[in-house]
Each structure stands twice: as C-alpha cells, then as structure tokens.
Structure 1
Amino acid sequence: MKTLTDTSFNEVVTSPKPVIIKFEAKWCQPCKAMTPIMLEIEKELADQVTFFSANVEHCSLIAQRFKVTQIPALLAIDNGVVTAQKTGAAKKSEVLAWIDLALPSLRQS
C-alpha cells in the first residue's frame, strides 16, 4: 500500500485505476488487525485497484475532508468520486464484498 499524506493526495485524484484508502493510526488495534487482510486483497487486485494507507495523525486534512471520525475506515474512490465508505474492522470476505459493491467498474472489466 502506498502511504498517503495531505501533500500527496493528488496521487489519488490522478490515479487511472479506482482507489481504496485505508484510514488508520499506529495505536489502533483493529487497524493493525486489518493490515494483513488489506495487503492480501491488494495483492489480489493490484492490477485493478490502487491501495493507499492514510495515518489519520498525519493526514488530518484528508480525514476531515472525507469526514472520517472512526478508524479503521475504508474509502472507495472511482473516477475521482467517492463511491462508498466503511468503518470498523472486517473479515477479508466482507471487505471483498464491500469493494465489489463500492467499485462497480471492477465488475465491468
């Protein structure tokens, strides 16, 4: 996962592929539990989706922009538009189902 900062957000906007941003913090245990799950999913979907990790302590502007008030949080962006947001820890199967719903362009490819 690429690390996202307030100053590197342009990478999200200009991404040719849909984007998933995982908002997290180092002290958050559910966030830590989600990391290996997200890394597995990233490997599976690497050719279709770009994955970013955003530490809310270093990306406060981005977190505020998308009204992230609970972590872990996942944000799906397709063609520059936020299509879905999910909060809380989840199993791999739940995250994959959410991505399928959040990024309809993946079903068309």
Structure 2
Amino acid sequence: MKPLTDTTFIEAIEGATKPIVIKFEAKWCQPCKAMTPLLVDIEKQLGDRVDFYSANVEHCMLVAQRYKVNQIPALLAIDKGVVTAMRTGAASKAEILQWIKTALPAPEGP
C-alpha cells in the first residue's frame, strides 16, 4: 500500500489508471493494524487491477474530512475519481474481498 497525504491525494486520484482502495487508519488503532496484513495480501492478489493506498488520518485530515471519515479503520473505493463505496470497522479478508468485488467494477478480472 502506498502512503497517501493531503498533498499527494489529488495527484493519486487524478493520475489513477485503475480503481483505488484507500485504507484510513491511525498508528494507535489496533483494528487498523490488524487489517494491514489482510490488505497487503489482497493487494498482492488484485494489485494489477486495483491500486491500494493507506492514509493516516492524523496526516490526511483534509482528505478524511472531505470523505466524512469519522471512524477508523475505514475503506474507501474510488473509480474514475468517483467514490463507489465506503465501509468502516474491522473486517476479515473474505469480507474485504467481497466488499471490493461489490464496490469496484470487475476488480477480479476476466
């Protein structure tokens, strides 16, 4: 997962050639830490079809405010600059994969 900041956010979204999943987190958040290895595995599985970013809410306050992220961990799916889905709270790998499948157009490919 690539780190995202308020400064790099617009460049990442505007330059995206694939759908995006952003994980909003904080260093002190235990559920956020627990989800990181799951998302790293999912990124390995879907990385050629979906870009994955992590956004520390303490360093991405403007982005978090823009998308009304008020609970972490939170996942945000964006396709062609448009938010297609958001979910909050911890989740299993299977739940995250199902959410991505529903949130983004054909992330699992042909």
TM-score by length of 1: 0.96
- Deviation (angstroms), 1:59: 0.2
- Deviation (angstroms), 1:105: 4.0
- Deviation (angstroms), 1:98: 0.2
TM-score by length of 2: 0.95
Confirm or deny that 1:69 pairs with 2:70: yes
On the 8 A contact 2:46/2:108 being kept in 1, the answer is no
**Which residue type is aligned with residue 107 of structure 2?**
L
Percentage of identical aligned residues? 65
Aligned residues: 109
Residue deviations 1:34-90 (CA, integer Å, cap 9, x gap): 000000000000100000000000000000000000000000000110000000000
2:84 is aligned to 83
1:46 is aligned to 47
Kindly report structure 1 stretches of 4+ aligned residues shifted beyond 3 Å.
Answer: none
**C-alpha RMSD over aligned residues:** 1.1
1:8 is aligned to 8
- Deviation (angstroms), 1:107: 5.8
Structure 2: gaps (5+ residues): none
On the 8 A contact 2:22/2:75 being kept in 1, the answer is yes
